[in-house]
A and B are shown apart, each in its own frame.
Chain A
């Protein structure tokens, strides 16, 4: 099943999944009776831990603040390239030896890069845990960046960049980002371009590791059969030798330049990818939770949302139609997408615009709000069923400064949203005149605005 024999590589898949995970982490809904421990090692390394002895497995997620948006101009794709090569040899072990060591012990050690952070994950059976943390230490502190693996990974990344150029949804998405963040680091593709990736040298990568992977921008989440005392020892061993401070950075805030444009990217495909976006709301905005509830009602729910109902259920225009909030550190979007036969794109765009307009003008009904709240609060324990999801949540809570008691408080934030709030925020957040489209395909029924 899902043998991606032609068009994906492990590393690339991971990189893109990581980005998705970030988005989803921001919309996570934690649970009730789970105890989160703040663990601080003697060396001052902090991790948040949920001790779960169910299986003899330890899962760790980590995130260094500052991601691909900080790639130097001309070196776009650096963070992604480093993420793809940190596990290609470290210390005395060359790439083959390192990979074999991981593989023989079934240790999963992965890195990925989003726009705002550089992430890692480690999952191991407890019987191999000493080795697993040692390999993580080596990867972070002494990566080799040998020529052979670099050549190999670079070729994989370049192939991935090429493949995105044949994928309608990637193309449409790219266009949205270029428009929304014109002139800002967010406009750049996190994978970089062919030219930029070709220009990246081992020295660039070493500099990245030295400047970006430090103790002061690191957050850690751990879940599994491990207690605080044991974890403390691993924390110091693994992260103690990292530089104390990352190189300082500044990412200017930006309000996305979305003014209701419609772009068409010509692609000879039967189905157009329709992506749309407008300015969003930042994670620390007091109205964030209200917006979060609103998004669920508009297009966030699986089989129940206004867009699902109008676009898919009533008109059969698309298999998939959705919206999500994307609150990046320096600028936020409301995003959405659908895939529609070329001939029906006009109808889909018109329907999305109508739904948007009505939602902005009227907001949700009391009934919709009530249903959204029961879903969002009730679905909360479902987040606590996989170690890696929980570890990811612990990282997200720290990244977003939500507090260690967030899990206990979060449903209260949702419950507190009133209909009055919802209508007010709907009118403020949703701006039909700014809703911009990028369509990759051969659509009919739409006119490009530029």
Chain B
């Protein structure tokens, strides 16, 4: 899952929090309340009286994977344009009001969702609810506003992707990994398609997807459900329900060939290697493996105790870093991957062989009781620690509810992780890591000519 924020700089704190968060997390810990408004908008309240502050988030069940072919980047550009005013608010007025009231705000777009949020003193919550509700259906955008904002997005793309060889390679890897599923397109969009987006297409996308029955309101902080409910009804409850939306996604065909991508660039100083496999998520494919795969990723490549780190980085000292990654929270197929950064002078082929030897060892011998117990313990601890980060609950619950998940799923995460056994871990590994369907990527320096 790649997330694009509207403004990165003010989010550094939040990003650190998110980075520390384990893939998922948090069992029977958040204890949220939920109710649904008459127009179909789900509301979730996560009470936390630590400071007189709330985080107010509206999540829409639309992301880049819901875009039609040819209009990549439209979900993200719309997210930017949501700050340009409505029938009732001038351009930038919402942001100015949030700032004037000591609040902080941002928005982000991912494959499966788009979200807008403010963190603000509790007694200012009503103001942001009024203005957020207003822009759900009254957005006003003109060609004059779209032109500069499209340039802003193109600059964002240059900064994040075009200026950065490893990001360029990652974009190509996704296009190779997903043969047919829309995750093959970058969230930010392809440059030529961003340039072609116009007001009509953006507004029609907005009208189709922005409606209360396609949104989730989440408020975390110093507030109870009883306090929030009348406000939610007053501001969001009055918005007419939109047409029912069925999120149809293309189906990914079986991959039958291994693929290898190589990017050589003069600006690369540090080579890198990775291999990825499409894998089940909580809601796609053989979903029963989703928890065991998280434990597997932790055991093979989750940290300093992991097999890859111990073997490649510490014992044989051929890599500067090595690990594994897996996050099953997407609606569509997720990715299970390995990476290694070779030490100078170590051949890429050697690194690859060494990573794969560890993978083969798992496939042949499985993992031990002790490894599974240790991984579960660490994951459980991290879930409790993550609770200490304000906003993590709203983030987890929002991502789940807009990606086909439920609150119970979030709340029961630890319970499900605790059920994982060496046998189920091995079964999951065999299901994902065998066969010829991987995508391998090499990032290489190119001698300056």
Q: Which residues of A contact B (CB under 8 A)?
A: 1-3, 5-7, 9-10, 17, 20, 24, 31, 52, 54-57, 59, 95-96, 99-100, 102-106, 108, 123, 125, 148, 151-152, 155-156, 158-159, 162-163, 165-166, 168, 267-271, 301-304, 309, 312-320, 322, 339-341, 371, 374-382, 384-387, 389
Chain B min CB distance to A152 (Å): 6
Nearest 8 pairs of A and B residues by beta carbon: A378-B102, A316-B148, A316-B151, A6-B272, A106-B381, A385-B390, A5-B339, A271-B158
21 A–B contacts, CB within 8 A, in A order: A1-B1, A6-B169, A6-B339, A54-B388, A55-B387, A108-B20, A125-B384, A148-B314, A159-B341, A168-B163, A268-B267, A303-B7, A303-B95, A316-B151, A317-B151, A318-B155, A320-B156, A382-B103, A384-B50, A384-B53, A385-B390
Among B152, B162, B388, chain A packs the most CB atoms within 10 A around the CB of: B388
Query: Measured between alpha carbons, how far is A103 from B303 in the docked complex, in Å?
Result: 8
The interface size bin for chain B is: 35 or more
Chain A min CB distance to B449 (Å): 11
Query: Measured between alpha carbons, how far is A177 from B357 in the docked complex, in Å?
Result: 46
Residues in B286-340 with C-beta less than 8 Å from chain A: 303-305, 310, 313-314, 317, 320-321, 325, 327, 337, 339
Q: Is B60 an interface residue (CB 8 A)?
A: no
Q: Is B196 an interface residue (CB 8 A)?
A: no
Is the beta-carbon distance between A371 and B99 smaller than 8 angstroms? yes
Q: Is B257 an interface residue (CB 8 A)?
A: no
Is the beta-carbon distance between B152 and A106 smaller than 8 angstroms? no
Interfacial chain A residues near B27, Cβ < 8 Å: none
Among B18, B101, B102, B313, chain A packs the most CB atoms within 10 A around the CB of: B102
Provided the pairs A96-B310, A382-B102 are in contact, do residues A163 and B269 lie with their beta carbons within 8 angstroms? Answer: yes
For residue B96, which residue of chain A has the nearest CB?
A304
Q: Which residues of B contact A (CB under 8 A)?
A: 1-3, 6-10, 12-13, 15-20, 48, 50-53, 83, 91-92, 95-96, 99-106, 119-121, 124, 147-156, 158-159, 162-166, 169-170, 266-270, 272, 274, 303-305, 310, 313-314, 317, 320-321, 325, 327, 337, 339, 341, 343-344, 374, 377-378, 381-382, 384-385, 387-391, 443
Provided the pairs A1-B3, A270-B158, A318-B155 are in contact, do residues A6 and B344 lie with their beta carbons within 8 angstroms? Answer: no
Chain B min CB distance to A55 (Å): 5
Provided the pairs A382-B102, A386-B389 are in contact, do residues A304 and B321 lie with their beta carbons within 8 angstroms? Answer: no
Is the beta-carbon distance between B13 and A378 smaller than 8 angstroms? no
Among A301, A319, A379, chain B packs the most CB atoms within 10 A around the CB of: A319
Is the beta-carbon distance between A106 and B382 smaller than 8 angstroms? yes
Interfacial chain B residues near A148, Cβ < 8 Å: 314, 317
For residue B392, which residue of chain A has the nearest CB?
A386
Interfacial chain B residues near A104, Cβ < 8 Å: 305, 374, 377-378
Is the beta-carbon distance between B99 and A10 smaller than 8 angstroms? no
Chain A min CB distance to B332 (Å): 15
Is the beta-carbon distance between A319 and B159 smaller than 8 angstroms? yes
Is the beta-carbon distance between B104 and A385 smaller than 8 angstroms? no
Query: Measured between alpha carbons, how far is A155 from B105 in the docked complex, in Å?
Result: 39
Provided the pairs A6-B270, A268-B267 are in contact, do residues A303 and B105 lie with their beta carbons within 8 angstroms? Answer: yes
Chain A min CB distance to B162 (Å): 5
Chain B min CB distance to A301 (Å): 6
Among A152, A165, A316, chain B packs the most CB atoms within 10 A around the CB of: A316
Is the beta-carbon distance between A165 and B381 smaller than 8 angstroms? no
Query: Measured between alpha carbons, how far is A384 from B148 in the docked complex, in Å?
Result: 36
For residue B149, which residue of chain A has the nearest CB?
A316
Is the beta-carbon distance between A155 and B378 smaller than 8 angstroms? no
Query: Measured between alpha carbons, how far is A406 from B313 in the docked complex, in Å?
Result: 45
| A-B CB pair tally, cutoff 8 Å | 236
Is the beta-carbon distance between B272 and A303 smaller than 8 angstroms? no
Knowing that A303-B92, A316-B150 are A-B contacts, what are 20 other residue pairs whose CB atoms are under 8 Å apart, sorted by A's residue number? Answer: A6-B272, A7-B270, A9-B320, A96-B304, A96-B314, A103-B304, A106-B378, A123-B385, A125-B384, A125-B385, A152-B313, A156-B320, A159-B270, A159-B341, A268-B266, A302-B95, A303-B95, A314-B148, A320-B9, A375-B102
> A1, A271, A381: which contacts B51 (Cβ < 8 A)?
A381
Is the beta-carbon distance between B16 and A17 smaller than 8 angstroms? yes
Provided the pairs A20-B12, A302-B7 are in contact, do residues A378 and B121 lie with their beta carbons within 8 angstroms? Answer: yes
Chain A min CB distance to B7 (Å): 6
Provided the pairs A96-B310, A123-B385, A314-B148 are in contact, do residues A302 and B325 lie with their beta carbons within 8 angstroms? Answer: no
Among A20, A303, A318, A371, chain B packs the most CB atoms within 10 A around the CB of: A303
Chain B min CB distance to A21 (Å): 8
Interfacial chain B residues near A1, Cβ < 8 Å: 1-3, 18, 327
Query: Measured between alpha carbons, how far is A302 from B103 in the docked complex, in Å?
Result: 10
For residue A371, which residue of chain B has the nearest CB?
B100
Query: Measured between alpha carbons, how far is A340 from B155 in the docked complex, in Å?
Result: 6
> A5, A55, A123: which contacts B274 (Cβ < 8 A)?
A5
Chain B min CB distance to A61 (Å): 14
Query: Measured between alpha carbons, how far is A95 from B317 in the docked complex, in Å?
Result: 13
Is the beta-carbon distance between B267 and A151 smaller than 8 angstroms? no
Is the beta-carbon distance between A378 and B158 smaller than 8 angstroms? no
For residue A224, which residue of chain B has the nearest CB?
B388
Is the beta-carbon distance between B269 and A165 smaller than 8 angstroms? yes
> A5, A99, A267, A341: which contacts B158 (Cβ < 8 A)?
A341
Is the beta-carbon distance between B314 and A152 smaller than 8 angstroms? yes
Query: Measured between alpha carbons, how far is A380 from B51 in the docked complex, in Å?
Result: 11
For residue A6, which residue of chain B has the nearest CB?
B272
Chain A min CB distance to B302 (Å): 9
Provided the pairs A385-B51, A386-B17 are in contact, do residues A100 and B304 lie with their beta carbons within 8 angstroms? Answer: yes
Is the beta-carbon distance between B163 and A374 smaller than 8 angstroms? no
Chain B min CB distance to A249 (Å): 30
Interfacial chain A residues near B95, Cβ < 8 Å: 302-304
Is the beta-carbon distance between B18 and A313 smaller than 8 angstroms? no
Chain B min CB distance to A417 (Å): 16
Chain B min CB distance to A170 (Å): 12
Provided the pairs A1-B3, A341-B158 are in contact, do residues A105 and B268 lie with their beta carbons within 8 angstroms? Answer: no
Interfacial chain B residues near A56, Cβ < 8 Å: 384
> A168, A303, A313, A319: which contacts B156 (Cβ < 8 A)?
A319
Query: Measured between alpha carbons, how far is A31 from B303 in the docked complex, in Å?
Result: 36
Is the beta-carbon distance between B154 and A341 smaller than 8 angstroms? yes
Interfacial chain B residues near A382, Cβ < 8 Å: 51, 53, 102-104, 119-120
Interfacial chain B residues near A59, Cβ < 8 Å: 388
Query: Measured between alpha carbons, how far is A318 from B95 in the docked complex, in Å?
Result: 18
Is the beta-carbon distance between A271 and B162 smaller than 8 angstroms? yes
Chain A min CB distance to B289 (Å): 20
Chain A min CB distance to B338 (Å): 9
Interfacial chain A residues near B150, Cβ < 8 Å: 316
Interfacial chain A residues near B3, Cβ < 8 Å: 1-2
For residue A309, which residue of chain B has the nearest CB?
B92
Query: Measured between alpha carbons, how far is A152 from B316 in the docked complex, in Å?
Result: 11
Interfacial chain A residues near B377, Cβ < 8 Å: 104, 106
Is the beta-carbon distance between B385 and A106 smaller than 8 angstroms? yes
Query: Measured between alpha carbons, how far is A381 from B327 in the docked complex, in Å?
Result: 33
Query: Measured between alpha carbons, how far is A439 from B27 in the docked complex, in Å?
Result: 48
Query: Measured between alpha carbons, how far is A309 from B148 in the docked complex, in Å?
Result: 12
Chain B min CB distance to A145 (Å): 16
Is the beta-carbon distance between A103 and B154 smaller than 8 angstroms? no
> B2, B12, B51, B374: which contacts A31 (Cβ < 8 A)?
B51
Chain B min CB distance to A39 (Å): 21
